[in-house]
Amino acid sequence: MNTKGILAIIAGVVVLYLVSATVYIVPETHRGVVLRFGELVKTGVEPGLHFKLPWVETAEEFDTRILTLNIETQRYLTIEKKPLDVDSYVTWQIIDVADFYRATGGSEMRAEGLLASRIENGLRDEFGVRNMTEVVSGARDELMEKIQGNVDEFTRKEFGIRVQDIRIKGIELPDEVSETVYQRMRTERQAEAQEYRSRGREQAEGVRAAADRKVTVLLAEANREAQETRGEGDGKAATIYAEAYGQDQEFYELYRTLEAYRSTFNSRQDVFLMDSQSDFMNMLDGPMGGQ
């Protein structure tokens, strides 16, 4: 290769180097700033192709899309001094690249550290004035909206960051207190169950006593009615017997005697000893008995 070729290559390399040191491109999803010896001279650079002074100025670009930061699990105390392990996250966005650069030096990692610290302090303050029920279910939305509003107001002014949302992903009891809490819950449920059982037994005794009283009353009424019916029947029978006896006394005596004989001699195996001269045997000694 001759000298002209070598010089052309060197010139091309120099030109490319100068272009790379002069031209910079800001992507569509980013915004940029230009620094001159570390001092901001241009902010809010829009996406596209731009120029800067080589070796004197440098360009920085920052992602202005909505970003998500998962905050490490932290432990907070409720107003009852009960510890809770809370897992949360925040969505945030750079809205002022100049303020963002001044506050963080252009480092997303530093920005995330500042956000996490601010949110953790907010959660600690809010958990400290609420009980466990409120932070677990009842007032969680109100709590998160309040924290989001307070943190967003601060970060807009100080960091050029908009906090879009803060959410709690999970709230857990620490392992060392879970068993104690579960044991207390079991004890409370057992006491409640025992109370229900006692009430049930008391109600059952009441029902049984009422049923026994009702049975006694019903049996007494039934016996009374039976005695009345039996008395009425006996009275009617006596009346019928008296009327029959009055119509034919001899026939009635014969009928009663024959009924007595039938009842007495109803089995061939029975043995009956009596005086042959007794009144009971008078029918057997008559004309029919002699046959």
Contact (CB, 8 A) for 252 and 245 = yes
112-138 pLDDT per residue, tens: 999 999 999 999 998 888 888 888 776
Residue 47: both structure tokens together: 């996406």
Does 13 have pLDDT greater than 80?
Answer: no
Contact (CB, 8 A) for 124 and 111 = no
Percent of the chain whose predicted confidence (pLDDT) is above 70:
80
pLDDT, position 286: 54
Q: Which of 28-42, 128-142, 244-258 has the lowest mean pLDDT?
A: 244-258
Residue 82: both structure tokens together: 């009960």
Q: What single-letter amino acid sits at 36? A: R
Name the residue among 108, 197, 209 with its Cα closest to residue 159: 108
- Alpha-carbon gap, residue 256 to 289, rounded angstroms: 17
Where in the chain are the domains?
A: 3-62, 67-172, 194-280
Residue 288's φ and ψ, nearest 5 degrees, are -75, -35
Alpha-carbon distances, residue 25 vs 19, 22, 49, 59, 131 (angstroms)? 12, 10, 5, 9, 53
β-bridge pairing 83-94 and 161-172: antiparallel
Q: Indicate the helix (H) or strand (E) that contains 218.
A: helix 175-247
Question: For domain 67-172, which architecture applies?
Answer: 2-Layer Sandwich (3.30)
pLDDT, position 65: 93
- Alpha-carbon gap, residue 39 to 82, rounded angstroms: 49
Residue 184: pLDDT band (50, 70, 90) is confident
Contact (CB, 8 A) for 84 and 143 = no
Q: Cα 129–135–141 angle (5° rounding)?
A: 110
pLDDT, position 289: 44
Q: Which burial class, exposed, middle or buried, applies to 15 when counting CB atoms under 10 A from its CB (0-12, 13-18, 19+)? A: exposed
- Alpha-carbon gap, residue 157 to 94, rounded angstroms: 12
Percent of the chain whose predicted confidence (pLDDT) is above 90:
23
Output 265 or 86, whichever has higher pLDDT. 86
Q: Report pTM.
A: 0.56
Phi-psi label, residue 37: left if phi above 0, alpha if psi -120 to 50, beta otherwise: left
